[in-house]
């Protein structure tokens, strides 16, 4: 027998490769071999107690399904599950299943209908792995029974591996959990790193990104209107309305991850409060973010309202830290100023810019930060009690990094990488030698 790899197999080899394929297929679908993980023939042979030849032939079949990628001299990579994969899987199912139902209509006898009805009654207990597996098996039986009832064997052959991919997505969603603790641990051990959290807040938002394909995938996932603008054929900007909901597991987990990062990072001078406006929420939600950081009771009330799985898939419930007012001042003002080298910002010492916000002290910190008594910009009061009273002209700052000995080498590296992937010359982008009129230098300290 000649297999897909071009090798002649005996009956025993065929049996071994079939067994290996089925075991690998089952473990990849159930994410026991995690998406994105690397494996080798030796590891798999040891895991399944099978010969390498059978493993190798099984991997060839999985490569044909596009589930696995061969890495020369390194083994294999189990393909990750991407947002694009999910969209394509369900788009293909929308094409196939309505047609399969039409073919099956009138061809199913009463006994088959009773069997399908019994399968539909299957349920599961949340958190019970065995009952969840039983439910997914019943789920598979129902959909495959509908597809096969039409009598088209090729349609059934196409649909079965597609259902495998559907199940893999379901299992992968079950694995979705916060890794904020791992990121915070790395961050705490690397004192030169800084972190812009981009805190997700519940409510309306707008996805805006130069990663136009990602925004398009969000459009397909949400069904919301979408616009894209190409810029000089080099990049683009996609825009799509979003809504983060407490009841949605993904939204709620994103919300929890941001708060975990704030609470697990030890040094407030290197972590900055933003909502990546408008992507994760508008900047007008900053007072609510501040209250979540300063008030554990309020945070616990908010956690109790979100999707219940968030407590299982994150460490937020166990974090008792509360930010002080001084720490809030650091992560919203002093820390960003220091990181950007803005020596006249973020403090009240002599020589600092007179940019000051005044608040009435209140136990309700959200209300306090939402409506300052006065906002002073450059020594001029521009807002009072939430109302703008004067407009002033701002300044344009430009970065002025030091001319270090390594800077020419860095610029050459940037140029080489830039011109390797773009069609416009590097010279079109740097500012000219003389500073633009009306700008002010912001010297960046050497690190």
- Examine the pLDDT at 234 and tell me if it is beyond 70: no
Question: Coil, strand, or helix at residue 282?
Answer: coil
More confident residue, 112 or 184: 184
Between the ranges 91-105, 171-185, 375-389, where is the mean pLDDT highest? 375-389
If you write DSSP's letter for every residue of 294-335 in order, what string do you get?
Answer: H-HHHHHHHHHHS-THHHHH-SGGG------HHHHHIIIIIH
pLDDT of residue 7: 46
Q: Find the mean pLDDT for residues 425-445.
A: 74
**Residues 288, 364: contact at Cβ < 8 Å?**
no
Which residues fall within 8 angstroms of residue 39, CB to CB, at 6 or more apart?
33, 75, 76, 78
Q: Using 50, 70 and 90 to split pLDDT, how confident is the model at 370?
A: very high
Tens digit of each residue's pLDDT (9 = 90 or more) over 32-41: 898 888 999 9
Dihedral class, residue 326 (left if φ above 0, else alpha if ψ from -120 to 50, else beta)? alpha
H or E stretch including 20? helix 11-29
Q: Using 50, 70 and 90 to split pLDDT, how confident is the model at 4?
A: very low
Q: Using 50, 70 and 90 to split pLDDT, how confident is the model at 389?
A: very high
More confident residue, 99 or 422: 99
Q: Using 50, 70 and 90 to split pLDDT, how confident is the model at 235?
A: low
> Token pair for residue 400?
């002025």
Provide the CA 406 distance to its chain's centre, in angstroms: 35
pLDDT of residue 2: 42
- Listed in order, the ranges of the chain carrying CATH 1.10.10.10 are 11-78
- Examine the pLDDT at 416 and tell me if it is beyond 70: yes
Within 10 Å of residue 395's Cβ, how many Cβ atoms?
11
53-67, 322-336, 416-430: the lowest-pLDDT one: 416-430
More confident residue, 176 or 361: 361
pLDDT of residue 8: 45
Q: Return mean pLDDT, the chain.
A: 86
Distance, in Å, from the CA atom of 284 to the CA atom of 370, rounded to the nearest integer, reads 8
> Token pair for residue 192?
């030169």
Long-range pairs for 388-392 at CB < 8 Å and ≥24 separation? none
If you write DSSP's letter for every residue of 406-425 in order, what string do you get?
Answer: THHHHHHHHHHHHHHH-SS-
More confident residue, 150 or 175: 150
59-73, 75-89, 258-272, 389-403: the lowest-pLDDT one: 389-403
Measure the CA angle with vertex 420, ends 417 and 425; round to 5°: 90
Please provide the distance, in angstroms rounded to a whole number, between the alpha carbons at the two ends of the chain: 65
Which residues fall within 8 angstroms of residue 388, CB to CB, at 6 or more apart?
382
Distance, in Å, from the CA atom of 131 to the CA atom of 123, rounded to the nearest integer, reads 8
Question: Coil, strand, or helix at residue 22?
Answer: helix
Distance, in Å, from the CA atom of 96 to the CA atom of 90, rounded to the nearest integer, reads 10
pLDDT of residue 124: 65
> Token pair for residue 41?
């023939």
Q: Find the mean pLDDT for residues 380-407.
A: 85
> Token pair for residue 238?
């996609």
pLDDT of residue 361: 93
> Token pair for residue 186?
């790395």
Q: Find the mean pLDDT for residues 327-338.
A: 94
pLDDT of residue 199: 97
H or E stretch including 382? strand 380-384
Q: Is the dihedral of CA 42, 45, 50, 52 positive or negative?
A: negative
CA atoms within a 13 Å half-sphere pointing along the CA-CB vector of 288: 13
Tens digit of each residue's pLDDT (9 = 90 or more) over 247-275: 998 899 999 999 999 999 999 999 999 99
pLDDT of residue 255: 97
- Which of 41, 117, 24 is CA-nearest to residue 79? 24
Distance, in Å, from the CA atom of 364 to the CA atom of 383, rounded to the nearest integer, reads 21
Between the ranges 65-79, 202-216, 234-248, where is the mean pLDDT highest? 65-79
Q: Using 50, 70 and 90 to split pLDDT, how confident is the model at 323?
A: very high
pLDDT of residue 126: 57
Q: Find the mean pLDDT for residues 273-301.
A: 95
Q: Is the dihedral of CA 300, 303, 308, 312 positive or negative?
A: negative
pLDDT of residue 431: 67
Q: Find the mean pLDDT for residues 324-341.
A: 93
Q: Using 50, 70 and 90 to split pLDDT, how confident is the model at 357?
A: very high
pLDDT of residue 433: 67
3-state helix, strand, coil in the chain (%, to 5): 50, 15, 35
- Examine the pLDDT at 422 and tell me if it is beyond 80: no
Which residues fall within 8 angstroms of residue 298, CB to CB, at 6 or more apart?
291, 292
> Token pair for residue 344?
């006249």
- Examine the pLDDT at 13 and tell me if it is beyond 80: no
- Examine the pLDDT at 202 and tell me if it is beyond 90: yes
Residues above pLDDT 70, as percent of the chain = 92
**Residues 77, 38: contact at Cβ < 8 Å?**
yes
Q: Find the mean pLDDT for residues 400-413.
A: 80
**Residues 77, 36: contact at Cβ < 8 Å?**
yes
The residue whose two tokens read 């996609």 is 238
Q: Is the dihedral of CA 295, 297, 298, 304 positive or negative?
A: positive
- Top-tier CATH class for 11-78: mainly alpha
pLDDT of residue 432: 66
pLDDT of residue 436: 74
> Token pair for residue 356?
């000051």
């Amino acid at each position: 027998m000649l297999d897909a790899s071009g090798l002649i197999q005996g009956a025993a080899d065929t049996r071994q490769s079939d067994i290996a394929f089925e075991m690998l297929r089952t473990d990849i679908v159930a994410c026991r071999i995690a998406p994105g993980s690397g494996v080798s023939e030796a590891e798999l042979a040891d895991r399944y107690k099978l010969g390498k030849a059978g493993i190798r032939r099984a991997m060839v079949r999985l490569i044909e399904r596009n589930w696995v990628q061969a890495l020369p001299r390194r083994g294999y990579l189990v393909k990750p599950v991407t947002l694009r994969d999910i969209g394509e899987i369900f788009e293909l199912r929308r094409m196939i299943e309505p047609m399969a139902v039409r073919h099956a209509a009138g061809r199913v006898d009463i006994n088959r209908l009773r069997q399908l009805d019994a399968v539909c009654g299957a349920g599961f207990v949340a958190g019970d792995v065995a009952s969840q597996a039983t439910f997914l098996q019943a789920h598979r039986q129902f959909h495959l029974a509908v597809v096969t009832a039409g009598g088209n064997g090729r349609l059934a052959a196409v649909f079965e591996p597609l259902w495998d991919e559907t199940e893999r997505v379901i299992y992968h969603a079950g694995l979705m959990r916060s890794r904020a603790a791992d990121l915070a641990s790395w961050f705490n051990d690397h004192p030169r790193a800084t972190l812009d959290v981009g805190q997700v807040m519940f409510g309306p938002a707008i996805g805006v990104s130069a990663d136009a394909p990602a925004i398009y995938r969000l459009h397909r996932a949400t069904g919301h209107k979408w616009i894209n603008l190409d810029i000089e054929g080099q990049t683009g900007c996609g825009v799509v309305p979003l809504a983060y909901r407490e009841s949605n597991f993904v939204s709620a987990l994103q919300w929890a991850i941001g708060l975990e990062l704030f609470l697990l990072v030890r040094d407030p001078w290197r972590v900055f409060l933003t909502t990546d406006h408008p992507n994760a929420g508008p900047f007008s939600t900053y007072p609510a973010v501040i209250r979540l950081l300063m008030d554990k009771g309020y945070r616990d009330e908010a956690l109790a309202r979100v999707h219940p799985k968030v407590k299982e898939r994150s460490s937020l419930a166990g974090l008792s830290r509360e930010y002080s007012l001084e720490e809030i001042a650091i992560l919203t003002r002093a820390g960003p100023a220091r990181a950007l080298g803005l020596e006249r910002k973020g403090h009240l010492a002599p020589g600092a810019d007179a940019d000051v916000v005044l608040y009435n002290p209140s136990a309700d910190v959200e209300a306090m930060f939402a409506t300052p008594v006065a906002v002073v910009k450059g020594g001029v009061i521009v807002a009072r009690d939430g109302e703008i009273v004067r407009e002033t002209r701002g300044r344009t700052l430009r970065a002025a990094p030091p001319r270090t000995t390594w800077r020419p080498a860095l610029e050459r590296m940037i140029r080489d990488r830039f011109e390797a992937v773009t069609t416009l010359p590097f010279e079109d982008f740097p500012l000219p030698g003389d500073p633009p009129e009306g700008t002010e230098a912001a010297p960046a300290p050497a690190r």
